[in-house]
Amino acid sequence: MNWIPTTVDELLRRALVSEMTVVGRRGQPVTHPVLPLWDGQRIYVTSSVLFSRKMEHIKRDPRVSIAITDPEACGGMTARCTVQGDARIFEEDPHETWERVVPLWREKEPAIDLFLGKRFALPLFFERSLIEITPRRAFWWDDGRPEAPPQSAMAPGA
């Protein structure tokens, strides 16, 4: 996905937390902190059935955005970005479908293997849906100053 600016690509690769906004039942914004996974094409977020309200919202309206704004969560990188996109949910088998992104998850949170090994202790946490976000528009602040207008880029054909 070569239209994604380098800064945004780097932030998505590094971020340990992002703020994902979905559209709520009344059309209001609802924001959740999530771990964003990035394969260079699409953003992936997994969500336990324990915290599945966001999936209910996405099923009604798949339009979402993700903001990455915390330098502590990005290895000291001070740039910031917001990515808007369209979400799809994969949950054919909530026990296993999401496991295809475990390699991406492991890169950011190596301790996940430890938790997976103790899956029996918190089984519902590992019944998960996989949210795949196709970016359509990105805004970014190279210097991280929110008072400045961001740069922006749009997916071809969006």
Partner 1 sequence: MDIDRTLFEKLAAYDHVVVSWVDDDGYPMQTPAHFTADPGACTVRLAPTGIPLPADREVNLIASHIRARPGTGYDQRRYLTLWGTLVRDGDAAVLRPRRAWGWDEREVPFFEYSERNNEQARRYLAELSKERGEPVKPRLSRFWTVFVATRLPFLTATFVPILLGVAVAAYHGAFSWWLAIVTLVGGAAIHIGLNTANDVFDSLSGADEANVNPTQFSGGSRVIQRGLVSLRQMSAISAGAYAVGIGVGLYLVVDRASVELLAIGIAGMLVSVFYTAPPLRLVHRGLGEIATAVGFGPIMVLGAYVVQTKELSWEAFAASVPVAIFIALILYVNEIPDRAGDAAVGKRTLPVRLPQDAVVRGFGLAALSAFVFVVAAAATGLLPRPTLLVLLAAPMALSVYRGIREHYGDPYALMPSMGRNVALHLVTGLLLFAGYIVAISADKALDSPPGILS
Interface with partner 1 (CB under 8 A): 16-17, 19, 21-23, 27-31, 33, 48-53, 55-56, 61, 63-67, 69-70, 72-73, 75, 80, 82, 84, 91, 94-95, 108-112, 119-125, 127, 136-137, 139, 141, 144-150
DSSP for 118-129, written as a single string: TGGGSGGGG-EE
What is the identity of the amino acid at 23? V
CA-based end-to-end distance of the chain: 13
> Could you count the other beta carbons within 10 Å of the beta carbon of residue 21?
18
Q: Which is nearer to partner 1, 146 or 156 (CB)?
A: 146
Whose Cβ is closer to partner 1: residue 1's or residue 124's? 124
Distance CA 151, CA 91 (A): 35
Closest distance to partner 1 from the beta carbon of 151 (Å): 10
Residue 1 or residue 122: which is nearer to partner 1 going by CB? 122
